[in-house]
Amino acid sequence: MPKQIQLKGRIFLTFNIQAVTGLHIGGSETGIEIGGVDKVVIRDPITNRPYIPGSSLKGKMRSLLEKYRGLSLNRNIGGTAIHSCDQSEEYQQCDICQVFGVPGEMNFATPTRLVVRDVHLTDESARILTEQAHTDLPYTEVKTEVSIDRVTSAANPRRMERVPAGAIFGPAELVYSVYEGKDGYASIADPKKDVERFRALVEGLQLLEDDYLGGSGSRGSGKVRLQGIRVSVRSGEKKYLEAPQKVKEYDDLSALESDLLNLLREVTSVLGLA
């Protein structure tokens, strides 16, 4: 009997991301002029506004969760060591690899549960930064830092571009898929376990709020806060063309965490898994 995977539904998590401190997510530094900024932010090529790439958000959450759970960093991808399960038995028990994915060549792999969209600067924040903040560059400030040579005491200034504190990006959209699957007679994807693994995603978001996003976090940049969290579900049982059903709304992440058990129960019910 061949491997079989069925989509049972999707959980949509949307929210805004507020930059509590200046935010620097680096972009291409080609074409920098003499006397210009050393480290520029990534921008949307059409609007020229800074944005948060989904890869940055997803990668940061995975990295923080791997450290939080003490997982082995056994695979090198582009010079970065990450955790990746090598055996099917280990993979079946690993929340991180199930949610964030493993390399496609692994014959035991099932679909990656989590999709993270790019997050763009809101129109209101763009207006405020343009009309009221009068920033150094379009929508951004320039922060100058100075390193000191320990021998000569010579100062080495460097200039970094940041999105100012208070700016809001959104709505962010995280799409979490729930699967049921078999390989022969053995289960390789349990939809109830997938719903339970949603906890790992919430943990990753809390770790992110306590850490930083982007560069220079140890020097003050990158603190973010989630606002206006909305959870909705689209059932895969012959109802996929219907609009997602709103399940819960929360002002912030702490409110969601306090109600997480009830949230998972309701999601399970909407997906028809109760």
- Report the candidate in 139, 135, 137, 136 with the shortest Cα–Cα distance to residue 126: 139
Angle at 146 between CA 142 and CA 152, to 5 degrees: 155
From CA 1, how far away is CA 259, in angstroms rounded? 41
| pLDDT number for residue 104 | 80
Q: Which of 204, 216, 196, 217 is nearest to 273 (CA)?
A: 196
Give the per-residue pLDDT at 32.
Answer: 47
Query: What are the phi and psi torsion angles at 264 (to 5°)?
Result: -65, -35
For the chain, 274 residues long, the average pLDDT of each consecutive 10-residue run is 90 98 81 63 96 96 97 89 93 96 88 97 96 92 87 85 96 97 91 97 98 93 97 88 94 98 97 90
What does the alpha-carbon distance between residue 259 and residue 134 come to, in Å, rounded to a whole number?
A: 41
pLDDT of residue 29: 59
Residue-level pLDDT at 147:
82
Q: What is the pTM of this model?
A: 0.91
